Copies of this chain bind each other. A is one copy, B any other.
């Protein structure tokens, strides 16, 4: 139960920051939003990592499941809570934003590019998560939250223009609720994110064969 509360809180503040920092970000949103969002993830990973692992992302939970550090039963609970928290955060953000929420979401210019962007960004994120937070070779470090949060910052600057830069199907859900993304493109976040997370987990297992 305490794990699910923690996943709720972390995911809630991540998606809240996505909505408020982007839609309420004004002219400098291209500069500030990747920092705000990466930092929000970082601080929530540092706050909740010791309780729930600090996933806050269905693709991360999938990667950790493949890596063998969470059971399928627990994963299902995490996924449900992550999606509920994402939707709840989107609703709170919309209340605060008021008429800054656009009436319609723009479709992605290219879903091929969007899919590549979500795949690459989520691959990087889950590769960093598994290596910095679950590998024997980095045990006991103090940098895991910094590494995980700022992966989203770097990937958002690089890839955000092609997919919106969710790298997280829960964030993709929240973005769709808040009209930051078109529902017709939601599958891009789901497929790109989960595929990126799964592939990252297999690469991790190949590169860390002695970790159990």
**Cross-chain contact B120 with A151 (CB below 8 angstroms):** no
Describe A's contact surface by its main secondary structure: helix
Q: Which residues of B contact A33 (CB under 8 A)?
A: 157
Interface bits A170-182 vs B (CB < 8 Å: 1, else 0): 0000000000000
Task: Report the separation of the CA atoms of residues A24 and B24 in the bound assembly, to the nearest whole angstrom.
Answer: 22
Interface with B: A61-69, A73-81, A189-197, A202-210, which one? Answer: A202-210
**Cross-chain contact A2 with B207 (CB below 8 angstroms):** yes
Interface membership of A105, Cβ < 8 A: no
Of all chain B residues, the one with the shortest Cβ separation from A28 is B31
Interface bits A39-78 vs B (CB < 8 Å: 1, else 0): 1101110111111000000000000000000000000000
Q: How large is the interface on A (under 10, 10 to 19, 20 to 34, 35 or more residues)?
A: 35 or more
**Cross-chain contact A157 with B25 (CB below 8 angstroms):** yes
Of all chain B residues, the one with the shortest Cβ separation from A120 is B16
Interface membership of A183, Cβ < 8 A: no
Interface membership of A145, Cβ < 8 A: yes
